[in-house]
Amino acid sequence: MKLDILAIGVHPDDVELGCSGSIINEIKNGKKVGVLDLTQGELGSRGTIDTRYEEAAKAAMIMGVHLRENLKIRDGFFKNDEEHQMQLIKVIRKYQPEIIFANSLEDRHPDHGRAGKLIADSSFLSGLLKIETTDDQGKKLQAWKPKYVLHYIQDRYHEPDIIIDISSVFEKRMEAIKSYTTQFYNPGNEDDGPQTYISTPAFLESIIARARMIGKKIGVEYGEGFNTEKNIGLRSLDSLVQIET
């Protein structure tokens, strides 16, 4: 299946926190979107690998994505090296996305920045003809270069290069995030493990505040911000949000 967008996150829940509004928006516009989680989030302080899979599947259903896969690389200790780049190149070539959503290049969790760079490097290398890859059946995979890699802003704030209006899908976005009942605040989940940075009510409130703050910059209620190393080109000015700010 060819995808329009492949949203990649190193931990199951990164994609929901960083770009689920944009995913839901694009699916509403008829685009095919898949999610790739790089690790199973096995080092998370709360919940288990199994609960994470259940939560990720529920969030995928809420977002309406066409597929969700897990690369099962090692949480916390993976490297941006040839072995991992080749694994990622195979997925990119298999699904041929025009756009990739990726972790931020710099964030609170060191995995996020390392994954952001791994995804960006793999997206570039995937376009090189002389890097040969085959799928699971031994069939040759053609080189494929996504047109844009957009890094979603997750925990640490970065000034966005592009902001997408997600106001009309905001409730659904929060629903997708709250699927991770062991990770984020949810009354009655005290037994899922110790309180962490992300399991308090304040964390969920900060997610809403962040989307409001980014949305305000373009005059809408809620927004998601992305950084890009490549300039964004518009086909026409019709795509501009034309609200006075």
Show the site string, 3-32: x = touches Zn ion by CB under 5 A, - = not: --------x--x------------------
Token pair in block for residue 19: 């770009």
- Does position 155 interact with Zn ion (CB under 5 A)? The reply is no
In the complex with Zn ion, the residue whose CB is nearer, 43 or 232, is 43
Nearest residue (CB) to Zn ion, 116 versus 225: 116
Nearest of 158, 163, 47 to residue 112 by alpha carbon: 158
Closest approach of Zn ion to the CB of residue 203, in Å: 13
* CA-based nearest residue to 10, from 120, 98, 93: 120
How many residues bind to Zn ion according to rule CB under 5 A? 2
Closest approach of Cβ 115 to Zn ion, in Å? Answer: 8
Residue showing the smallest CB distance to Zn ion in the complex: 11
Q: Give the CA-trace dihedral at 123, 80, 87, 57, to 10 degrees.
A: -90
Nearer to Zn ion by C-beta: 142 or 196?
196
137-173 burial by CB neighbour count: b if 16+ within 10 A, else e? eeeebebbebebbbbbbbbeebebbebbbbeebbebb
Phi, psi of 167 (to 5 degrees): -55, -40
Residue 167: CB minimum distance to Zn ion, A? 25
Q: Does 46 bind Zn ion (CB under 5 A)?
A: no
Q: Which residues bind Zn ion (CB under 5 A)?
A: 11, 14
